[in-house]
């Protein structure tokens, strides 16, 4: 049973990797914009209704939590924060940055697919 699931997962990872990087990046970028927009609307709505009893965690946030700390960092810095790619220059070489970004994007898309 586990080998069947592993085979299915590896096939799905291969499918995700066949999508051009530019398109994968655009998917994540659009998801992040949608997430930020919904988060803002939700915060405004909660302030109006004065609901602070519980915190609603979106699927997007759950998927971020499933990523490794480094992958989460790359997604947040590259797509959710305003700095975009300027932050990476002082920490990583260009090749290392893109390798880690590819891994982060692939894993994020895979987790979206399986969830």
Alpha-carbon span 87 to 78, nearest angstrom: 8
SS3 at position 92: coil
Q: What is the pTM of this model?
A: 0.71
pLDDT at 1 over 50: no
High-pLDDT (> 90) share of the chain, %: 21
What ranges in 1-115 are assigned the alpha helix state H?
A: 2-18, 21-49, 59-66, 69-75, 94-114
Structure tokens given for 111:
């987790």
Residues 48-81 pLDDT 10s: 555 555 556 788 889 999 999 999 999 988 888 8
- Residues contacting residue 100 through CB under 8 Å, at least 6 positions apart: 70, 71, 74, 92
> According to the model, what pLDDT value does residue 37 have?
83
Sole residue written with tokens 């990523």: 67
């Amino acid at each position: 049973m586990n080998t069947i699931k592993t085979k299915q997962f590896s096939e799905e990872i291969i499918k995700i990797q066949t999508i051009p990087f530019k398109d994968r990046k655009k998917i994540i970028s659009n998801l992040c914009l949608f997430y930020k927009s919904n988060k803002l609307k939700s915060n405004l709505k909660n302030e109006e209704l004065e609901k602070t009893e519980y915190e609603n965690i979106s699927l997007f946030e759950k998927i971020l939590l499933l990523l490794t700390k480094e992958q989460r960092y790359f997604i947040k810095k590259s797509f959710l924060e305003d700095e975009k790619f300027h932050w990476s220059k002082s920490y990583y070489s260009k090749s290392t940055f893109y390798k880690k970004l590819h891994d982060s994007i692939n894993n994020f898309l895979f987790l979206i697919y399986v969830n």
